[in-house]
Amino acid sequence: MKPRFAIAIAILTLAVLATAQVPSGTLAVVNGEAITEAQVTTIAASDLAALESKKAASPATYERDKLVILHKALDSIIEDKLVAAEAARDQVTKEQVLFAEVESNVSMPSTEEAETFYEANKSQIAPPHDQAIPLIKQFLTDQSRKRYRDAMVYMLKKKFPVKVILDPVRTDVATLGYPSRGPETAAVTIVEFSDFQCPFCGGLFPTLKTIEKNYPDKVRLVYRQFPLTAIHPFAQKAAEASLCANDQKRFWEFHDSMFGDQAHLTVDDLKKRAVDLKLNTAEFNACLDTGAKVSAVNTDVEEGRKSGASSTPSMFINGRFLAGNQPYADIREVIEDELQRQSQSKAGGK
């Protein structure tokens, strides 16, 4: 037998064995260890029972709500197994890992920080000031703890292989009629809710450019407006300007120009861009000055909030939610998982 042929047979055999070792009913595999549906449903039993009692009242969302519950339970098991794997590797206890990566980094916020939070949010805080401050301190502490736990899990997933088999939670987000580029028949659609003045959105811009370059036939990008007007004073008019440019079928040129230079987004700057891009400036200026696109921008923002977006950038990759300026590798991982799931689905349908 020729060496290359022997190697190919060996690789194929290992692949078959690896597939065979995943038992039926497995929802995830962490560092080679399967997590079964029975384990997940046991952890989620009380939440699933409560959902069943409400099934008749909300049948339309039942399946999605059930999937959310299962993923919450699955994530907790995955986290526990990742911490256990790290503890075994370092020959320490799980408690020691959690202390080193999470608890040792969490600090109680000061009274001044709590007061600042109270002043910024007091219209939405029900308890009176003196009762609210201790609650705010606890809330900020819990948020800090969550950030460190999330960072720990992210780091451990890079160390130990994790494969989630359970269907992802997806959110339906409208794409028809919104600015898009990439084939309509693309296997993966990325809907981005974004803000032209947001620095994190600016950071994501070249990453999505690379995604488009590397997946020209497989990925379609759809842009939805989500200007954070409370902190970005030029974002609203920039969003309107992009839609005014869209009326002249020049959305993406205007989009790329603004993300290429986020320091110049005043109305005068936007009008100069229209000149530089050789748009019909009379039509563009009238569109921008009359606020013709205010309603369209507001609709995007409202739909974004309903979909679960609260910050920018927020992405939905075939309905799977990703928040923030995600690195290329993480976006690619979701795209590849989507392509693999579709390939398996087609193979299973034959």
284-303: per-residue pLDDT in tens? Answer: 999 999 999 999 999 999 99
CATH of the domain at 77: 1.10.4030
**Domain for residue 174, yes or no?**
no
187 and 310 together in one domain: yes
Per-residue model confidence as pLDDT tens digits over 99-123: 999 999 998 899 999 999 999 888 8
CA dihedral 24, 25, 29, 33 (to 10 degrees): -70
Of the residues 140, 164, 188, the one at which a domain ends: 164
CATH of the domain at 194: 3.40.30.10
pLDDT value of residue 350: 56
3-state secondary structure of 329: helix
223 and 87 together in one domain: no
Work out how many domains the chain is built from and give that number.
Answer: 2
Beta strands 33-36 and 314-317 are: unpaired
41 and 83 together in one domain: yes
The larger pLDDT score, comparing residue 58 to residue 66, is at 66
76 and 201 together in one domain: no
Mean pLDDT in residue range 233-246: 98
100 and 190 together in one domain: no
**Domain for residue 191, yes or no?**
yes
Closest CA to 221 of 348, 318, 129, 137: 318
43 and 148 together in one domain: yes
**Domain for residue 14, yes or no?**
no
Question: In terms of residue numbers, what domain contains 292?
Answer: 180-349
**Domain for residue 341, yes or no?**
yes
197 and 336 together in one domain: yes
- Is the whole model's pTM more than 0.85, yes or no? no
Report how far residue 67's alpha carbon sits from residue 85's, in angstroms, rounded to the nearest whole number.
26
**Domain for residue 121, yes or no?**
yes
251 and 191 together in one domain: yes
124 and 268 together in one domain: no
Name 90's Cβ contacts closer than 8 Å, sequence gap at least 6.
97
99 and 231 together in one domain: no
Mean pLDDT in residue range 90-103: 97
Q: What is the mean pLDDT of the chain?
A: 92
Report how far residue 185's alpha carbon sits from residue 190's, in angstroms, rounded to the nearest whole number.
13
pLDDT value of residue 122: 85
**Domain for residue 307, yes or no?**
yes
Of the residues 130, 164, 198, the one at which a domain ends: 164
124 and 253 together in one domain: no
229, 262 in Cβ contact below 8 A? no
202 and 143 together in one domain: no
**Domain for residue 213, yes or no?**
yes
**Domain for residue 171, yes or no?**
no
Residue 236 has pLDDT above 60, yes or no: yes
Of the residues 164, 192, 227, the one at which a domain ends: 164
